[in-house]
Amino acid sequence: MEKQQVKASIFDKLPLLDKNRAAKFIIYGLIIAILFGMMMMVSRSIADNSGQWATLADQENELSYWNGDYGYNDFIERQEEIDRIQYWMAFQDVIFMNIARVGVNIGLVFVLVGFLSFAVNDKIDESTRKISLIIAGLILFMMMFTTLFSSISVSVG
């Protein structure tokens, strides 16, 4: 007997998940992306407002010095501490934004797998499968551009 080799298409190689598991992938991916997106927004807000915080802290430091709460050496030490904190507040954006970007992309991969599973599932009607494939393509397109070009961002407000 001869063995016939069946050539598998790309759709056969994709993970076939049932409806419930694909929906869970989408929900978990969205939750992960939202949490890391919030981390990204908080980090950006801290970095953007570091100058205002430093101005307020400098003013409090000068008032305390002129009111006689502490001496000149303490004033200078506090001034250096304020500068260090301001620089850290501005620099933490680099660290946490990159971590958050990776987290958002991981979440989007879960969403992508969920929609691709809907697209290759034979038990779902054809229009839902097409819409799922289009949504998966849009998510992949967005992931590619936000990963490859770091100056692209989505802002709300």
Helix axes 72-120, 50-66, angle to 10 degrees: 160
- Res 42: pLDDT: 93
- Res 148: pLDDT: 73
Q: How far apart are CA 147 and CA 33, in angstroms?
A: 14
Q: Which helix (H) or strand (E) holds 74?
A: helix 72-120
Tell me, yes or no, whether 89 lies in a domain. yes
Tell me, yes or no, whether 12 lies in a domain. no
- Res 11: pLDDT: 55
- Res 145: pLDDT: 79
Q: Which domain holds residue 76?
A: 18-147
Task: List, run by run, the mean pLDDT of 10-residue segments along the chain (157 residues).
Answer: 60 67 91 94 93 95 92 94 94 88 91 88 84 90 77 59
Tell me, yes or no, whether 56 lies in a domain. yes
- Res 58: pLDDT: 95
- Res 53: pLDDT: 94
What's the total number of domains in the chain? 1
Tell me, yes or no, whether 95 lies in a domain. yes
Write the CA distances from 40 to 83, 94, 122, 138, integer angstroms. 23, 10, 38, 22
Tell me, yes or no, whether 93 lies in a domain. yes
Tell me, yes or no, whether 142 lies in a domain. yes
- Res 36: pLDDT: 94
Whole-prediction pTM: 0.73
Q: How far apart are CA 18 and CA 9, in angstroms?
A: 19
Q: How far apart are CA 20 and CA 100, in angstroms?
A: 28
In terms of Cα–Cα distance, which of 71, 79, 75, 74 is closest to 55? 79
Tell me, yes or no, whether 97 lies in a domain. yes
- Res 78: pLDDT: 95
Tell me, yes or no, whether 108 lies in a domain. yes
